[in-house]
């Protein structure tokens, strides 16, 4: 399927089906550095410990890409496979499940060619009963990290006047808000993806609780090495400028007060408060509502925060220099390629708690926004209802895409998708079930009546 996708894209068209076929030859040359970023979020489903193949990218999709890269590079240069998984995930176990060590050993033993596997995590968080109890420092990217301040280029810049309060990934709320206030919008990013000559994204076809779907654009969270600098939601509800809840009633206000108090105490790692939080969390869910049924933490279609963070990271990847400055011209944008592993996907409560979805799909292309839009349509969703996609088409900051939505055209071995994106019909889609916080909003309703 990967090979067929390359053919449909017309890569090295004149040599297709001959021994001289070299699909990446116009994009990679000997001596180049190629960074491959799969979805390596976690080693297991959040609720089903022995299930993983619809949670992370499968090694069988990665292997042929490496084969064709090696061919184009003539065995000279570096291929790096890396990601920054969820902070409580076991990178070594993820690598084992994906078969990456086997791929690496084949090239080392038979081709004398090294493939590097890099865990970009700076920290590993130990969680017990849903509470972070300790932080373990990791070596992270061997090349180090780069701090970027997007300033006015940030998708958050237009919100600075409202003095909103963001929540990142850990209990240190002040750290998140120091990075995103007063016109400053800072992110810490691994250096290896920035110095690479070619960046290849291999996401999984999945739904996502905070941004609707997680493909290329959401997957760029994996190049960030301080997750707490990533705003995930804004405290409050729409009537107060927030998106944490759909509405702010007395119960939600009480939950917020208790949560803020506890997070501030947990930041100090006080053993007593850690113990109380661990023991009290399940009782809190009984009173305030379980995460699997109750909308909180920005897990709904009204989240106006997470998409901004992801598109900020896209600007950094495509235009960021290793000294923290930015290139300004679209022609200087980093070379990018995407191939989506949609053999088996995840629907419902993604990205780690959803349900298995047999799909049998590979989607490939050179524009992350276009690929994500096609992925959304094939899933049965309206891309223009998904801000992480629709806002990427805006001419804001540094261009993430040079395309218009109505220009996207697909080639496919299926008649149903061998046409303009606007002509896709809902009845031919995979009819994914969205996360419950997005249900009734994200579905491709305009096509339901056709």
The string of DSSP codes covering 369-386 is HHHHHHHHHHHTB-GGG-
pLDDT for 447:
56
Average the pLDDT over 251-280 and give the result: 79
State whether 407 and 334 are in the same domain.
yes
State whether 200 and 321 are in the same domain.
yes
Query: How far apart are alpha carbons 206 and 391 in whole angstroms?
Result: 20
Q: Between 25 and 261, whose confidence is greater?
A: 25
CB 62, CB 104: distance < 8 Å:
no
Q: Can you list the positions of beta strands (E) in 274-382?
A: 335-347, 355-365
State whether 280 and 305 are in the same domain.
no
Q: Which domain holds residue 176?
A: 2-243+301-448
CA nearest to 191, candidates 89, 288, 321: 321
State whether 173 and 274 are in the same domain.
no
Output the CA torsion 328→330→334→335 (10° steps).
-170
Average pLDDT for the chain: 94
pLDDT for 117:
98
pLDDT grade, residue 446 (50/70/90)?
Answer: low
Give the side-chain half-sphere CA count within 13 A for 243: 21
Last residue of a domain, one of 259, 294, 329: 294
Query: How far apart are alpha carbons 95 and 271 in whole angstroms?
Result: 33
State whether 315 and 260 are in the same domain.
no
CB 350, CB 207: distance < 8 Å:
yes
State whether 227 and 352 are in the same domain.
yes
pLDDT tens per residue, range 372-407: 999 999 999 999 999 999 999 997 889 999 999 999
pLDDT at 292 over 80: no
Average the pLDDT over 37-48 and give the result: 94
State whether 237 and 254 are in the same domain.
no
State whether 211 and 258 are in the same domain.
no
Q: What percent of the chain has pLDDT over 70?
A: 99
pLDDT at 450 over 50: no
pLDDT at 4 over 70: yes
pLDDT tens per residue, range 48-107: 988 999 999 999 999 999 999 999 999 999 999 999 999 999 999 999 999 999 999 999
Number of domains in the chain: 2
State whether 423 and 287 are in the same domain.
no
State whether 287 and 404 are in the same domain.
no
pLDDT tens per residue, range 133-145: 888 999 999 999 9
pLDDT at 345 over 90: yes
pLDDT for 89:
94
pLDDT grade, residue 130 (50/70/90)?
Answer: confident
State whether 109 and 151 are in the same domain.
yes
Q: Can you list the positions of beta strands (E) in 103-216?
A: 115-119, 123-128, 131-137, 145-149, 166-167, 180-181, 184-190, 198-202, 204-208, 212-214
State whether 361 and 285 are in the same domain.
no
pLDDT for 271:
78
């Amino acid at each position: 399927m990967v090979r067929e996708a390359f053919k449909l894209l017309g890569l090295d068209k004149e040599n297709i089906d001959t021994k001289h076929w070299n699909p990446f030859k116009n994009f990679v040359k000997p001596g180049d550095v190629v960074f491959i970023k799969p979805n390596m979020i976690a080693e297991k489903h959040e609720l089903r410990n022995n299930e993983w193949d619809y949670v992370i990218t499968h090694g069988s999709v990665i292997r042929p890409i490496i084969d064709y890269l090696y061919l184009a590079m003539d065995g000279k240069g570096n291929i790096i496979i890396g990601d920054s998984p969820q902070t409580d995930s076991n990178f070594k176990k993820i690598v084992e499940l994906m078969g990456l060590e086997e791929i690496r050993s084949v090239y080392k033993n038979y081709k004398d060619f090294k493939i590097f596997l890099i865990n970009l995590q700076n920290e590993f968080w130990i969680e017990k009963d849903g509470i972070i109890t300790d932080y373990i420092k990791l070596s992270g990217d061997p090349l180090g990290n780069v701090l970027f301040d997007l300033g006015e280029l940030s998708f958050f810049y237009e919100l600075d006047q409202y003095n909103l309060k963001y929540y990142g990934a850990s209990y240190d709320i002040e750290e998140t808000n120091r990075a995103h206030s007063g016109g400053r919008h800072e992110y810490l990013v691994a250096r290896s993806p920035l110095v690479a000559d070619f960046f290849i994204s291999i996401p999984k076809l999945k739904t996502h609780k905070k941004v609707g779907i997680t493909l290329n654009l959401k997957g760029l969270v994996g190049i960030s090495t301080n997750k707490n600098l990533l705003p995930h939601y804004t405290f409050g509800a729409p009537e107060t400028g927030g998106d944490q809840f759909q509405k702010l009633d007395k119960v939600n206000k009480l939950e917020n007060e208790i949560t803020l108090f506890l997070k501030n105490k947990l930041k100090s790692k006080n053993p007593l408060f850690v113990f109380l939080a661990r023991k009290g969390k399940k009782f809190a869910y009984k009173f305030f509502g379980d995460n699997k049924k109750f909308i909180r933490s920005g897990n709904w279609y009204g989240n106006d925060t997470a998409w901004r963070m992801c598109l900020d990271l896209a600007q950094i990847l495509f235009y960021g220099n290793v000294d923290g400055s930015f290139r300004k011209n679209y022609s200087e944008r980093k070379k990018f390629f995407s191939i989506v592993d949609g053999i088996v996907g995840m629907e419902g409560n993604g990205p780690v708690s959803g349900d298995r979805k047999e799909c049998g799909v590979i989607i490939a292309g050179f524009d992350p926004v276009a690929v994500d839009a096609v992925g959304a349509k094939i899933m049965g969703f309206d891309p223009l209802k998904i801000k992480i996609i629709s806002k990427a088409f805006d001419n804001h900051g540094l261009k993430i895409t040079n395309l218009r939505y109505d220009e996207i055209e697909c080639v496919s071995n299926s008649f149903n998708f061998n046409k303009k994106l606007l002509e896709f019909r809902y009845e031919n889609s995979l009819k994914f079930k969205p996360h419950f916080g997005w249900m009734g909003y994200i579905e491709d309703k305009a096509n339901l009546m056709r």
